[in-house]
Amino acid sequence: MLHNELIDKSEWVYHDENSFLLIHKNASKTVVKSIDHCSSVSNRGVGPNPKSKIKWTVIREPMDRMVSGLAFDIKRNPYTDDNEIISNIENSLFGIPSVWGRSCINRENHTYTQSSYLINNPIDCYVHIDDLNKFLKINFDYDGESGIDEDGSREYKDKARELIHKFGEQRINDLLAFDNYIYQKIISSGNLWKWQHGKVFL
């Protein structure tokens, strides 16, 4: 069976007694900046998940993340033929190398399913990307708005939506069925952070 190395080797940033799981296209760069910015963080590092008091990550609605991830990969591969991208969409969701494997899109798919990052990584606290700025302000005294669209891929989102439409939105939704199931379970769980929960890292 083929494996995506990015998922086999989960990326964690630990800070004090807590650990953050990086998920591509879920504002990970902004989160890492906020941790680095926080003067109260005394122990910060990167590596395999250490034993931590709280393990947390950021989640995003699967289709929204799909559009953002595809837009970013299109930006990195501006001369790739549209038909090649369309033919690679299904494989890219599951980290399966395609026949045009030299492309950056194949080496690091930013559309790789969110659930694949989560499945073997127990998380204590989930933060929805829509609530992330509030979370960062409360926990790290950091304004995450400044990091929005810092990768410059927003202008490629219309192109991504066009290619998803050509591939078939219903086909995408079918392929994202498990991702959507996990996402909805998290949304309705008691592990989803809400502003009323306030500061998590004391």
Mean pLDDT comparison of 149-158, 168-177, 192-201, highest-scoring range: 168-177
Q: Is residue 129 part of a domain?
A: yes
Alpha-carbon distance of 113 to 180, in angstroms, equals 10
Q: Is residue 200 part of a domain?
A: no
Query: Tokens 């950021």 sit at which residue?
Result: 58
Q: Is residue 2 part of a domain?
A: no
Q: Is residue 132 part of a domain?
A: yes
Alpha-carbon distance of 9 to 191, in angstroms, equals 24
Residue 50 has pLDDT above 60, yes or no: yes
Containing structural domain, residue 40? 7-195
Residue 100 has pLDDT above 50, yes or no: no
Q: Is residue 182 part of a domain?
A: yes
| Percent of the chain clearing pLDDT 70 (strictly above) | 85
How many domains does the chain divide into? 1
Q: Is residue 171 part of a domain?
A: yes
Computed over every residue of the chain, the mean pLDDT equals 86
Q: Is residue 106 part of a domain?
A: yes
Q: Is residue 90 part of a domain?
A: yes
Residue 67 has pLDDT above 50, yes or no: yes
